[in-house]
């Protein structure tokens, strides 16, 4: 976060609203948690990052693979080594999966890793202001 020593975790849950509210309330009870928030998908900006390790042999098949990666999916080449190339793509889970499926058609994907969501609220709330309010209340419980 923009505040040193404060980390943000994004947890994606698929359940009923009632159960999700219970989860948020339980997280809020944890000692080191400053606050847990519940957001619907349309209330946040979010992205994931995916890394793909591909054999350099894949790129010897012409520029088709590179065209797919860069033009169609907006990915970028992160690192080129003698025996492999690392590709990076940010986007949604659907978008990173589509690139994975497309690359699979051209050969073996040596390794693949995808992060979970990284998200920011669309609301105008700065973490630093939120922490100042917490300090004034002298607890980690704020009416949110």
Mean pLDDT by 10 residues, the chain (144 residues): 79 91 91 85 94 88 75 91 94 95 89 94 74 67 52
Q: How far is CA 51 from CA 9, 48, 97, in A?
A: 20, 10, 11
Distance between first and last Cα of the chain: 19
pLDDT of residue 5: 80
pLDDT of residue 97: 97
Tokens of 70: 């860069």
pLDDT of residue 66: 78
Domain ranges of the chain: 45-114
pLDDT of residue 99: 94
CATH of domain 45-114: 3.30.70.1150
For 133, how many CA atoms within 13 A lie in the half-sphere containing its CB? 12
pLDDT of residue 128: 66
Q: How many Å apart are CA 20 and CA 13, to the nearest integer?
A: 7
Return the H-helix or E-strand segment holding 54.
strand 44-55
Q: How many Å apart are CA 85 and CA 103, to the nearest integer?
A: 12
């Amino acid at each position: 976060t923009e505040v040193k020593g404060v980390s943000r975790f994004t947890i994606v849950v698929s359940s009923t609203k009632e159960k999700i509210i219970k989860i948020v309330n339980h997280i809020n009870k944890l000692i080191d948690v400053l606050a847990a928030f519940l957001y619907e998908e349309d209330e946040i900006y979010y992205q994931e990052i995916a890394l793909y390790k591909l054999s350099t042999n894949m790129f010897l098949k012409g520029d088709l693979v590179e065209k797919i990666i860069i033009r169609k999916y907006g990915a970028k080449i992160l690192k080129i080594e003698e025996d492999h190339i690392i590709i990076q793509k940010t986007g949604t889970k659907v978008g990173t999966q589509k690139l994975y499926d497309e690359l699979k058609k051209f050969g073996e994907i040596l390794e693949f890793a995808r992060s979970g969501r990284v998200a920011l609220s669309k609301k105008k709330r700065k973490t630093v202001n939120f922490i100042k309010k917490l300090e004034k209340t002298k607890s980690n419980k704020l009416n949110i």
